[in-house]
Copies of this chain bind each other. A is one copy, B any other.
């Protein structure tokens, strides 16, 4: 490889968009769509993965999207629909001509159709169900009856299984003669005569073992099954914790009904993390493609809760109007105490919320974590007390004011550490998602305590 090539390679690599759509491609595609040049559009989009086409459709304006989808016509692939976020998906489905839509949907495996349908509105769901062939429709309708976010919704129904008494040779002969194997499979699940799974064998082991070896002998050691109604969050946790690649799903009688693979489980884990990040910031289930009004509506409740807690804090301040009127410096300094408490509390609660999500924070270590947060709050509280004490004295020339803000700082940072762990633990105990509500509670506590400690101390010490 010549020098210049190597340099180009390196540059491409450092470009963050190396794997995503680069701006130039997007512009060329939009230009082609604008010009109505279907051939050029197809040529430009041909090398793109369905996931990238979906990203493209999400990033452009609604009218550009409609024009593009119509011009792309018959090339439109079912997989693109699977990859689209729900808001844009509805929009694209509405823009597709009926025959393109039905061809796109028929291309998909039945579990992908389930994915596609579950987030759609009822009428769109029914329109798509009516496109499917009878047998597929039954499978899809069955899957949709299972509880949302369950193992059953996640699994594929196509399973490669073998009786547990088979040998490697029998398994190989069976696979070589099988007519309709799934697109992707990595394991053979061993079942007893009642279809209860008892283990699994990786294809790698099958290929590298002698024909007369029993499948049972080369079965993997770590093996877990999931019940069809188990929450998908538990499934994702187990895949991550035990490094599973695939796992069988059984019905209430323990019979094999499907298989979940790592990619589906990791998707769930990813979505749950994403949800936690947004919930912690008071953002619901929104996407970059939602309409402005929808966004405003989604964010309103959290802001409203925050307004109530802010008013509560103001009520505390109102109790000290007299001292504030006498010493205006208090009004200048008081937001510092509240803000430091709020930040320290957010640190603690985030660590606690994640500890609960990853199941690292348990009954066994809760007390230790609480103690640790309180002591860490005390340490930082003391450091900041000294800093702010000095700032207070230098700024306003009143040593007592420095003492007041210093003590209030210690109190509020200790309380922040305590509330930061106790609030998520309590919410989790009573069955409320700690990511959802911890923030509001903890900042209420730190605001109220911060203002009360600072102004209350001032009232005692400065008057």
Which residues in A have some Cβ–Cβ distance to B below 8 Å? 1, 6, 9, 13, 16-21, 23, 26, 49, 51-52, 55, 58-61, 160, 172, 175-176, 178, 181-182, 184-186, 202-204, 206-208, 210, 222, 227, 229-230, 234, 237-238, 240-243, 245, 252-254, 262-263, 266, 269-270, 273-274, 276-278, 280-283, 286-288, 292-293, 295-296, 299-300, 302-303, 306-307, 309-311, 313-314, 317-318, 321, 324-325, 328-336, 338-340, 343-344, 346-347, 349-351, 354-355, 358-365, 368-369, 371-373, 375-376, 379-380, 383-384, 387-388, 391, 447, 451
6 A/B residue pairs, CB under 8 Å, sorted by A: A20-B362, A160-B204, A176-B208, A283-B351, A300-B380, A313-B335
Residue among A1, A292, A300, A384 having the largest count of chain B Cβ atoms under 10 Å: A292
Known: A292-B375, A296-B375. 6 other contacts (CB 8 A): A61-B368, A207-B207, A277-B350, A302-B347, A321-B328, A339-B447
Q: Give complex CA distance A169, B398 in Å.
A: 89
Q: Which B residues touch A58, using CB under 8 A? A: 360, 365
Contact with A230, one of B13, B184, B368 (Cβ below 8 angstroms): B13
B380 touching A296 by the CB < 8 A rule?
Answer: yes
Q: Which B residues touch A243, using CB under 8 A? A: 51, 263
Q: Which B residues touch A360, using CB under 8 A? A: 55, 58-59, 287-288
Residue of B at shortest CB range from A371? B292
Q: Give complex CA distance A229, B49 in Å.
A: 24
Residue of B at shortest CB range from A242? B49
Contact with A311, one of B52, B372, B391 (Cβ below 8 angstroms): B391
Q: Give complex CA distance A186, B204 in Å.
A: 6
Q: Give complex CA distance A293, B253 in Å.
A: 52
A292 touching B346 by the CB < 8 A rule?
Answer: no
B364 touching A26 by the CB < 8 A rule?
Answer: yes
A350 touching B283 by the CB < 8 A rule?
Answer: yes
A384 touching B303 by the CB < 8 A rule?
Answer: yes
Contact with A262, one of B1, B266, B362 (Cβ below 8 angstroms): B266
Q: Which B residues touch A178, using CB under 8 A? A: 208
Q: Which B residues touch A344, using CB under 8 A? A: 299, 303
Q: Give complex CA distance A288, B245 in Å.
A: 28
Q: Which B residues touch A18, using CB under 8 A? A: 234
Residue of B at shortest CB range from A265? B266
A234 touching B19 by the CB < 8 A rule?
Answer: yes
Residue of B at shortest CB range from A244? B263
Contact with A362, one of B21, B274, B361 (Cβ below 8 angstroms): B21
B324 touching A331 by the CB < 8 A rule?
Answer: yes
Q: Which B residues touch A222, using CB under 8 A? A: 49
State the majority secondary structure of interface residues on A.
Answer: helix
A125 to chain B, nearest CB (A): 24
Q: Which B residues touch A17, using CB under 8 A? A: 359, 362
Q: Which B residues touch A286, using CB under 8 A? A: 351
**Top 8 A-B pairs ranked by shortest CB distance?**
A281-B350, A203-B203, A331-B331, A273-B273, A296-B379, A296-B376, A310-B336, A266-B266
B331 touching A372 by the CB < 8 A rule?
Answer: no
Q: Which B residues touch A306, using CB under 8 A? A: 339-340, 343
A336 touching B362 by the CB < 8 A rule?
Answer: no
A241 touching B19 by the CB < 8 A rule?
Answer: yes
A282 to chain B, nearest CB (A): 6
Q: Which B residues touch A172, using CB under 8 A? A: 207
B280 touching A281 by the CB < 8 A rule?
Answer: yes
CB within 8 Å for A282 and B347 given contacts A241-B51, A317-B331, A336-B310: yes
A307 touching B384 by the CB < 8 A rule?
Answer: yes
CB within 8 Å for A307 and B387 given contacts A262-B262, A282-B347, A333-B314: yes
Q: Which B residues touch A365, using CB under 8 A? A: 58-60, 288
A335 touching B317 by the CB < 8 A rule?
Answer: yes
Residue of B at shortest CB range from A202? B184
CB within 8 Å for A273 and B277 given contacts A1-B253, A254-B1, A295-B372: yes
A59 to chain B, nearest CB (A): 4
Q: Give complex CA distance A307, B381 in Å.
A: 12
Contact with A204, one of B181, B274, B321 (Cβ below 8 angstroms): B181
Q: Give complex CA distance A238, B206 in Å.
A: 30
Q: Which B residues touch A359, using CB under 8 A? A: 16-17, 19-20, 55
